[in-house]
């Protein structure tokens, strides 16, 4: 393992002090380091998605003639293909960017199913994009050499270069947690409350990370009615769009989306699609902890966002901001009677149980049960 400080020293020697991206648990200790050292010795801009991060680093380069670093999990690499090919590529504007890509799903290493395909194709996708890369080994001298090679390439060829990061490259940076929020409800309490008071027979589409895993645990411990859930374990930010697609086909069934603040921000445009097509049976719940908790608690930009105003301005019918279980309980009758789209933002504190379970069956099996449930519903 290497120390984040040693890695940063190498970057700083090469005038690389600008960072933007979406976090990955693969290098959460490194991200803790850049958050803690921003803005003293570096600048870190929290992006809404990886595509945007490439564009922000492009703007940084245009304004300074320096090279920005974009960090991401390899699941976000797909989102960057458009700006990499149509903005940064040498056939277009030739923008040098150093990418740090967390390698989930590396062949031969056990990982969750949503990482399998991208893990397998990460290096070949970079080859296809004609982006050279180095896989970083835990050897600081070798890393120094790779960064020097990257700099030579970036300056000569003026195009993107990638550093591939495996889990556990970085040592623990510090025990200091990233900032706490002051909210009082836990995600588990909010899920339990909603499941028991609002959604027992509804369809729930849940977002990537701890949220789907907590909902899974809820169902696993009780009725085991997983068939009413679509656990959107990958494709971060897509839960509300999946919900929209179902809601429009099943107008008599309530569709409840359990979303994260980071995920909602990642695909913010979805608010406009939901508002435009206005499904009456659509309830969108955002569990807002102001962080990407599932990848280590890095901040999202939600502390400066008013989700309720965004939803109303996008043509949702109503929107509620909830801080306590009493408030949540107070809106349930209205929400049950009300016409969608309805947004409920629940401010939740950080934290989750250790060793949260993951859905244990093959995702396709859950999908088949879920589709059967939807079909049978139609026949009723």
Ligand X SMILES: Cc1ncc(C[n+]2csc(CCOP(=O)(O)OP(=O)(O)O)c2C)c(N)n1
Instruction: Report the nearest approach of ligand X to the CB of residue 76 (Å).
Output: 4
Measured in residues, the chain has a length of 380
- Asked whether 241 and 270 are in contact (CB, 8 A), the reply is yes
> Looking at beta carbons only, is 67 or 236 nearer to ligand X?
236
> Looking at beta carbons only, is 226 or 292 nearer to ligand X?
292
Q: What are phi and psi of 324, to 5 degrees?
A: -135, 160
> Looking at beta carbons only, is 338 or 351 nearer to ligand X?
351
Instruction: Report the nearest approach of ligand X to the CB of residue 257 (Å).
Output: 12
Instruction: Report the nearest approach of ligand X to the CB of residue 111 (Å).
Output: 12
Instruction: Report the nearest approach of ligand X to the CB of residue 365 (Å).
Output: 21
Residue 175: how many other CB atoms lie within 10 Å: 5
Q: Among all residues, whose Cβ is closest to ligand X?
A: 260
- Asked whether 295 and 314 are in contact (CB, 8 A), the reply is no
> Looking at beta carbons only, is 122 or 207 nearer to ligand X?
207
> Looking at beta carbons only, is 51 or 283 nearer to ligand X?
51
> Looking at beta carbons only, is 85 or 144 nearer to ligand X?
85
> Looking at beta carbons only, is 199 or 295 nearer to ligand X?
295
> Looking at beta carbons only, is 234 or 338 nearer to ligand X?
234
Binding site for ligand X (CB under 6 A): 22-24, 73, 75-76, 79, 207-211, 236, 260-263, 289, 291-295, 300
3-state secondary structure the chain: CECHHHHHHHHHHCCCCEEEECCCHHHHHHHHHHHHCCCCCCEEEECCCHHHHHHHHHHHHHHHCCCEEEEEEHHHHHHHHHHHHHHHCCCCCCCCEEEEEECCCCCCCCCCHHHHHHHHHHHHHHHHCCCCEEECCCCHHHHHHHHHHHHHHHHHHCCCEEEEECCCCECCCCCCCCCCCCCCECHHHHHHHHHHHCCCCCEEEECCCHHHHHHHHHHHHCCCCHHHEEECCCCCCCHHHHHHHHHHHCCCCCEEEEEEHHHHHHCCCHHHHHHHHCCCCEEEEEEECCEEHHHCCEECCHHHCCHHHHHHHCCCCEEEEECCHHHHHHHHHHHHHCCCCEEEEEEECCCCCCCCCCCCCCHHHHHHHHHHHHHHHHHC
Instruction: Report the nearest approach of ligand X to the CB of residue 289 (Å).
Output: 5
Torsion of CA 30, 32, 37, 43, to 10 degrees: 80
Instruction: Report the nearest approach of ligand X to the CB of residue 158 (Å).
Output: 26
Instruction: Report the nearest approach of ligand X to the CB of residue 327 (Å).
Output: 21
> Looking at beta carbons only, is 24 or 217 nearer to ligand X?
24
Instruction: Report the nearest approach of ligand X to the CB of residue 74 (Å).
Output: 9
Instruction: Report the nearest approach of ligand X to the CB of residue 26 (Å).
Output: 9
Query: What is the rounded end-to-end Cα distance, in angstroms, of the chain?
Result: 58
Instruction: Report the nearest approach of ligand X to the CB of residue 225 (Å).
Output: 22
> Looking at beta carbons only, is 115 or 226 nearer to ligand X?
115
């Amino acid at each position: 393992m290497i120390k984040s400080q040693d890695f940063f020293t190498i970057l700083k020697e090469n005038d690389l002090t600008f960072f933007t991206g979406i976090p990955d648990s693969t290098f959460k200790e490194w991200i803790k380091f850049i958050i803690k050292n921003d803005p003293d010795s570096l600048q870190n801009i929290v992006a809404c998605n990886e595509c945007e991060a490439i564009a922000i680093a492009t703007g940084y380069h245009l304004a300074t003639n320096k090279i920005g670093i974009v960090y991401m999990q390899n699941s976000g690499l797909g989102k960057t293909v458009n700006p990499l090919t149509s903005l940064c590529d040498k056939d277009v504007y030739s923008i040098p960017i150093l990418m740090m890509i967390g390698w989930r799903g590396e062949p031969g290493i056990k990982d969750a199913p949503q990482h399998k395909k991208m893990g397998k194709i990460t290096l070949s996708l970079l080859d296809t994009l004609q982006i050279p890369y180095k896989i970083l080994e835990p050897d600081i001298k070798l890393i120094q050499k790779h960064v020097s090679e990257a700099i030579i390439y970036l300056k000569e060829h003026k195009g993107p270069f990638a550093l591939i990061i495996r889990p556990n490259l970085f040592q623990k940076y510090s025990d200091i947690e990233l900032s706490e929020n002051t909210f009082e409800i836990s995600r588990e309490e909010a899920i339990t409350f909603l499941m028991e008071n609002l959604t027992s027979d509804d369809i729930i589409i849940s977002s990537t990370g701890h949220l789907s895993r907590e909902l899974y645990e809820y169902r696993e411990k009780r009725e085991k009615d997983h068939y009413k859930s679509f656990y959107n374990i990958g494709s971060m930010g897509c839960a509300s769009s999946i919900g929209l697609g179902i809601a429009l086909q099943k107008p008599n069934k309530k569709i409840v989306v359990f979303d994260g603040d980071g995920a909602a921000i990642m695909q913010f445009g979805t608010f406009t699609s939901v508002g435009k097509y206005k499904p009456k049976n659509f309830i969108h719940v955002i569990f807002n902890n102001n962080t990407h908790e599932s990848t280590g608690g890095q901040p999202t930009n939600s502390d400066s966002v008013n989700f309720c105003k965004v939803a109303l301005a996008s043509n949702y019918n109503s929107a509620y901001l909830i801080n306590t279980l009493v408030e949540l309980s107070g809106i349930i009758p209205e929400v049950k009677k009300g016409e969608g789209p309805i947004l409920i933002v629940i401010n939740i504190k950080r934290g989750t149980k250790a060793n949260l379970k993951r859905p244990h069956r093959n995702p396709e099996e859950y999908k088949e049960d879920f589709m059967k449930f939807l079909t049978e519903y139609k026949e009723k």
